[in-house]
Amino acid sequence: MDDFYRPLLAGLIANMRDGVMAEDEGGRIIVSNVAFSRMFGLSAPDELLGTCAHVVRERLWRDLTVYGDVYRRLTAELRQRREPQLGFEVVLADGRIFDRDYVPVPAPDGSTVHMWHYRDVTERRQLEQRLRESSRRLRELSAFAEEAREEERRQLARTLHDELGQLFSSIRLELGAAISQFRESQLPAMRGVVDRLQAAAGLTDIGVTALRRLTTALRPPVLDHLGLVPAIRWEASLFSKRTGIRSHVRARPSSIDLDDARLTALYRILIGALENISRHAAAGTAWIYVTRQRALTMMEIRDNGRGITEEQVNNPRTMGLLGMRERALALGGEVRITGARGRGTRVLVILPDASPDVRRTVRAAGRARAHA
């Protein structure tokens, strides 16, 4: 039976598109196919049989690859340990990328045959790189658009507050003066006019209140004038008054200075998280913790509600959660959302400072914080 399958196996290896090479315990090449020779510019497979695999590899590592010393050391360790390794990446100097698999195979005489399998993944890696680059550009575009929208909100809020607010104030003063003047008249017919003017003054006060609420929704002045922590305390107070849900805020240190992009991102994420609590959590209490350490700013929002499910966290249609994540990702950070049934939901935001060195530590910090 073995004599029947051996030529079939040899024919399969010989015609594979992936490179295959096998060496015996002594390091002599006992199997090689056309694809392996073509990949590395070697002699025909028949000419490689019986030659020293170490010599062939040394030439490859020295002349054709980028990280020859690393490949040399790892290859020697694999042969010594005799443990399979799949998907190891080999980068060639000409830009090609191979995935290498190593499989030790016990021989009938008790020795070990070292099997090496090379797969050209250059095109796939290039496609992955293009996809990553496209994703990066889309994220940058999204961040730019969000920054532009935030600037528009700021400008609109300032315009409404300065121009319309001043106009409402002037109208209120004029109405007040007219009311005082008509009250001085003793004519009975003037009483109706005074009542109408007072009603108009009341409507003006309502308009001022509505204008203040609109400008605050667009861009709260406390955010620009007092900073992150006062804005969070103020927003939490409004949230409690609006929903009846108790809120507690703790910040360390008590004052945190951030650039406008991170300040805005944390505030908008907070608004989204509190909105989710009021709509979906059925919670009685919310806790907000803000800390800053090691050039990282972290904000945690917890509640004691019903708890978000894993399906809800990973649902691509939940635009609110997606928006939170994208805001953080655009600044090199991340948002972690976890929940347990009946034990509430936890939103953890981690934002590094602008330094690229700090961004590389954000995921490790996030994992440590998540298990704290």
Q: Which fold has domain 2-120?
A: Beta-Lactamase (3.30.450)
Return d(Cα 133, Cα 348) in angstroms, integer.
Answer: 27
Half-sphere exposure (CA, 13 Å, Cβ side) for 146? 21
Q: CA 302 → CA 323, 357, 369, distances in Å?
A: 18, 29, 14
Type of residue at 318: T
Task: Classify domain 126-218 by CATH architecture.
Answer: Orthogonal Bundle (1.10)
Buried b (16+ CB within 10 A) or exposed e, 136-162: eeeeeeebeebeeebeeebeebeebbe
Domain ranges across the chain: 2-120, 126-218, 221-370
Paired tokens of 204: 């003006």
The C-alpha atoms of residue 325 and residue 335 are separated, in whole angstroms, by 5
Phi, psi of 108 (to 5 degrees): -60, -30
Q: What is the pLDDT of residue 250?
A: 95
Tokens linked to 288: 């907000």
Would you say 266 and 349 are in contact if contact means Cβ atoms under 8 Å apart? Answer: yes
Whether 277 contacts 312, CB under 8 Å: no
The helix (H) or strand (E) run that includes residue 341 is none
CATH superfamily of 221-370: Histidine kinase-like ATPase, C-terminal domain (3.30.565.10)
Do residues 51 and 65 make contact, with C-beta atoms less than 8 angstroms apart? no
Retrieve residue 285's tokens: 């209490």
pLDDT tens by residue, the chain, 372 residues: 456 656 777 778 888 899 999 999 999 999 999 999 999 999 898 899 999 999 998 888 888 888 888 998 999 999 999 999 998 999 999 999 999 999 999 988 889 999 999 999 999 999 999 998 888 888 778 777 777 887 888 888 788 877 888 888 888 888 888 888 887 776 777 777 888 888 888 888 888 888 878 887 778 888 888 889 999 999 999 999 999 999 999 999 888 888 888 998 999 999 999 999 998 888 999 999 999 988 899 999 999 999 998 888 888 778 788 888 888 988 889 999 998 888 899 999 999 987 554 444 444 544 444 444
CA distance 7 to 3: 7
- Count CB atoms within 10 A of the CB of residue 281: 21
